[in-house]
Structure 1
Amino acid sequence: MARGKKLYEGKAKVLYEGPEPGTLIQYFKDDATAFNAEKKDTIQGKGALNNILSEHIMLGLAGIGMPTHFIRRLNMREQLIHKVEIVPLEIIVRNVAAGSFSKMLGIEEGTPLPRPIVEFCYKEDKLGDPLVSEEHILALDWASQHDIDDMREMALRVNDYLSGMMYAVGIKLIDFKIEVGRQFHQDMQRLVLADEISPDSCRLWDIETNQKLDKDVFRRDLGSLTDAYSEVARRLGVLPKGGTGSGPKLVE
C-alpha cells in the first residue's frame, strides 16, 4: 500500500497519510532510545518485532471489547490505523516497583506492589514526561474528569488482559504505559487505545529467573535487544521457535 505524505516522526515510529480519509500508516523504526533520547542506537529487526507484537496485543484487546486505533498490519513494518487526536498524557500502570518508581520512592526494584498503581505523565520529551496529578490535568484542560476516569479504567483493563497473557507464557508484567486518542465521528467522540503496546512500552521479566525481556536490556546494556524481543514473540506464538531477531518470520 502506497504511503501518503509524512505527517510526524517520533523516536520509534513515523506516521504517514493513509489511503482513505481518517486513516494513517504507522511505520515502526529500528531506532532505540533511552533516557529521553540521551542514549541512541539502531537495532536491526526491532521495528518488525514491535509491529507484530503490538498487532498481536491490539487484536487481543479488541477481542475483549477494548476500542483501539488498530485496523490491520500491512507488512513487516507498517500498520493501517485510525487517525486520532492524541491526549497529551502517558498512562502508566505499575504492578512491581522498578525503574524511575523505585528511584523516586526508594523502593527496592522487584518489590511487588499491594495493588496496581496508575500514574499520569505529561507527554513532552523536552520536559522528560513529568508525573502530573489529576489537578494538573483538569486545570490545564488536557482531559475532563470523565476522560480521566475512562483512561484509568482502560489502563486497568489492559493490565488485567496483558498480565494474564504474559503469565501464561512465563512472563511477569512489571509495568507498562499506554497512550489514548480521541476518535471523532460527527459530533461524537470516543477514547481509543493508540500508539503501540510492545516490549518498548512494557517491562517484562521471566517469571523464574527475572531475566529482563524489554527495553531495559538496551538501557542497561544487558545483551541483545532483538533476542529479548524475539523471545517474547516466540512465547506468544507470533514467531516460530526457530525465528531470530535478525530476520523475523511471521506466523500468518
Structure 2
Amino acid sequence: MKMVYEGKTKDVFELEDGNVLLKFKDDVTGEDGVFDPGANTVGLTIDGAGKAGLKLTTLFFEKLKEKNIPTHYISADFEQTTMTVLPATVFGEGLEVICRFRATGSFLRRYGKYAEEGQKLDSFVEVTLKDDERNDPPISKDALHMLGILTAEEYDSLKQLTIDISNVVKDELIIKGIELYDIKLEFGRDKSGSIMLIDEISGGNMRAYKAGEYIEPLTLGKIMTAE
C-alpha cells in the first residue's frame, strides 16, 4: 500500500484494490495542551486515543449502515487501529461540517454577544473551509455555490445528512446518559458523485457532557464501547 496523506489524527494509504486504509493515531486536535475538536492543530497526544476513536467510529458507522445513511465505511481492524473505506473526493480542498446542539467553543467566541454558554441550539449546522492558514473560516451556502465548491442542491443534501447523522449520534449517547453539545463531520463524493460521510465519528471530533461534566475523548470511547 502507498501513503497518500499524513494527517493530524490519521494517516491515509491507498490499497491495491482501489480502496483506502485509514491508520488512526493517538494525536487529537487542540491548543496549548487542551483538547478542542474545532481546532486545526494537534494539541496533545492521548495514549490509546487512536484505538478508542476507531472503536467508537465503527460503532457509529454500523448504526448509520443500519439506517441506510451513506458512508465510506467498509471494515475495521482494532488491533492494527485501521479502517478500510471507499475512496472519496472532497469538496474543494476539504470542508468541515459542524452540528451544534448547545452554544460552546468557537460558536460562543464568535456570537457571545448574543449567546450564552450552554444555550440550546436546534441542530445548528455550519460549514468551515479546511484552511489552516486562515484558521478554517466559516462559509455560507451562497459562497460555497458561487466559488464552485458545491452546488446549492449539494449543500441542502449535506446539511440534511449532517442533521440526520448528528441526531443518530446524539440518540446513541443519550442511552448512556450523555449529552452531545456539538460534533464535527466531513463529507465527500463517491465514484458516482453521490455525497457520503467520510473520516471518523469519535470523541476527538465532538463535545459530550454527562451530568454537566465534560467527557474526555478516551473516556467517551470507553463508556460507549464497553461490553
- Segment drifting more, 30-39 vs 143-152: 30-39
Change (3 A) 1:154 1:39: closer
**Which gives a bigger RCO, structure 1 or 2 (Cα 8 Å, sep 6+)?**
2
Give the alignment partner of residue 193 of structure 1, picking from 186, 190, 197. 197
Q: Give the match for residue 46 of structure 1.
A: 49
Equivalent residues in 2 for 1:161-176 (5 A)? 161-176=168-183
Structure 2 CA distance for partners of 1:38 and 1:231, relative to 1, 3 Å: closer
> Which residue of structure 2 lines up, in the alignment, with residue 229 of structure 1?
217
2:189 corresponds in structure 1 to 182
Superimposed CA distance per residue, residues 7-60 of structure 1 (whole angstroms, 9 cap, x where no aligned partner): 001110000112412x01100011223144566332210111101111111111
**In angstroms, what is the RMSD of aligned CA positions?**
1.5
Match of 1:108 in 2: 116
Q: Distance in 1 between matches of 2:193 and 2:167?
A: 25
Moved over 4 A (4+): 36-39
Q: Deviations over 1:71-92 (max 9, x none)?
A: 0002331011111002221111
Question: In structure 2, what is the equivalent of residue 66 of structure 1?
Answer: 69
Residue number in structure 1 paired with 2:87: 83
Cα distance change on mapping 1:156 and 1:20 into 2, 3 Å: same
* Structure-2 change in CA distance of 1:132 and 1:6 (3 Å): same
Kept in 1: contact 2:185–2:199 (CA 8 A): yes
- Cα distance change, pair 38–6 in 1 and its aligned pair in 2 (3 A): closer
Q: Which residue of 1 aligns with 2:213?
A: 211
Calculate the TM-score normalised by the size of structure 2: 0.89
Cα distance in 2 for residues equivalent to 1:200 and 1:234: 13
Q: Does 1:34 align with 2:30?
A: yes
Would you say the 8 A contact 1:97–1:108 is kept in 2? yes
- 1:97 corresponds to 2:103: yes
Unpaired runs of 5+ in structure 2? Answer: 32-38
